[in-house]
A and B are shown apart, each in its own frame.
Chain A
């Protein structure tokens, strides 16, 4: 098992965590007309990077969303932080 760091609860078993999505997606401004390609990008496009990644995860036990930085090849976790502050 891998240990992931919840910024609020500390190091916990990976099975307590859920991958929520890549960091930095901005919902289109729906006060204006949103073109189909912009919706598609928001809803479906992924950077899906090989190497260092910054992602939003949920710690299911405390239900908090947070940012985790890790490497998608080595699977090493570099750090985690609250969504407001970003990862350290």
Chain B
């Protein structure tokens, strides 16, 4: 693996960038591995990396039906935060933020994590009380949080609508200073490159078509590139989790929906933080290229069609115009959707699938980009040891039988 550094950049600059070499191999699948991970999104790739790095399990394949990072990992609005309500969620998502804080150095790959802060606005006196409750809950969980009044919000995001006819006037908000944005592709590429360097085979254009089940145990996968046997199989396929579970004749507590996002033409810097206005269901940040990255709520219709849909587009953009009227005439550049895996409590599922030998990392829904380092870290622990990590245990599928749901849907306003 070529190490990336300022010196290397200078040297390559001087010789016409001819010596970089490929970032990862494109190997043929071997007949068998100790572990096979289905899905080369951020979660699958991070899992493979931590299996090799933390647990010494390097005979690992990640099989991907398309290209790596082409699923939701390459389609999200890149918001990273841990402003959750319940202790279980705070432990999970803050582990992720802490891993993100060190990730560029650890992977020797600039993932451009910019801790520009995130504001969730409050629009009435009762919402201010809920905001104070949120701040207190976050602090009790050891997560940074600040309660902002109207002037403090205005100072940080003057682009917001403070005019007299704002439909839902801004009273204040909750700030998480350590939240921010990261470069989504770089997270996938950085983990892929680092996992590959540790010996992991990343096999693209290799779709899992079925599971090899012997004596009630999953011992491998049938793929479009032939059968691959595995000591253990982990699925990290986001919106397609029910399809893989279906191969094990199991139904998951998951519904797949399209989630849309938008990016505008590049503008000069106008916004240096992330802002979410819950009543409009719209959130926004500005990328390093200057594009405004805009997101909103889920589509209304369960879907595997990876494309947008007009009603939600209207809601999100109408919300944006009310939120930041100065942006009304900005042109959109692109608009797309990803298929997300939504659980009843808006919390992920980590752990055994119910079929021996098959484990699940899914249910991240609209908000699993921020969780990639923690999801990979914990899933690797589960696959290597066969046991839950104390942080992953509450997210076991068993919670739907015991009733211990971790209902973050309402707690975080919009589920990203």
Contacts and interface: CB of A to CB of B under 8 A. Distances in A.
A75 B253 contact: no
A37 interface: yes
B305 A72 contact: yes
A50 B311 contact: no
A15 interface: yes
B401 A36 contact: yes
Interface string B389-403: 000000000001110
Nearest to B250: A45
Contacts of B215: none
B311 A1 contact: yes
Most B CB atoms within 10 A — which of A41, A51, A75?
A75
Contacts of B401: 36-37, 39-40
Given A14-B311, A50-B240, A50-B243, A72 B304 contact: yes
Interface string A33-64: 00011011101111111110101000000000
B242 A19 contact: no
A41 B305 contact: no
A9 interface: no
B254 interface: yes
| A-B pairs with lowest CB-CB distance, top 6 | A44-B253, A48-B242, A45-B251, A40-B401, A36-B401, A40-B400
Interface stretch (B94-102, B295-303, B378-386): B295-303
B103 to A, nearest CB: 32
A75 B251 contact: no
A41 B302 contact: no
Contacts of A49: 242, 246
Contact of A14 (B243, B256, B301, B400): B301
Given A47-B242, A50-B304, 17 more contacts: A1-B311, A15-B311, A18-B300, A43-B400, A46-B252, A46-B255, A48-B251, A48-B252, A48-B256, A49-B246, A50-B240, A50-B256, A51-B304, A55-B302, A72-B305, A73-B304, A75-B301
A30 B304 CA distance: 35
Contacts of B400: 40, 43-44
A82 B188 CA distance: 47
A23 B302 CA distance: 13
Given A15-B311, A37-B401, A46 B305 contact: no
Given A36-B401, A40-B400, A41-B251, A48 B302 contact: yes
B: interface residue count bin: 20 to 34
B252 A36 contact: no
A73 to B, nearest CB: 5
B114 interface: no
A43 to B, nearest CB: 8
A44 B303 CA distance: 18
A23 B328 CA distance: 42
A41 B249 CA distance: 13
Interface in B139-186: none
A19 B311 CA distance: 14
B310 interface: yes
Contacts of B253: 40, 44-46
B225 interface: no
A46 B304 CA distance: 14
A2 interface: yes
A41 to B, nearest CB: 7
B40 to A, nearest CB: 19
Contacts of A37: 401
A32 interface: no
A2 B309 contact: yes
Interface string B342-373: 00100000000000000000000000000000
A58 B215 CA distance: 44
A58 B252 CA distance: 24
A74 interface: yes
Contacts of B301: 14, 19, 75
B305 A75 contact: yes
A32 to B, nearest CB: 18
Nearest to A13: B311
A65 to B, nearest CB: 16
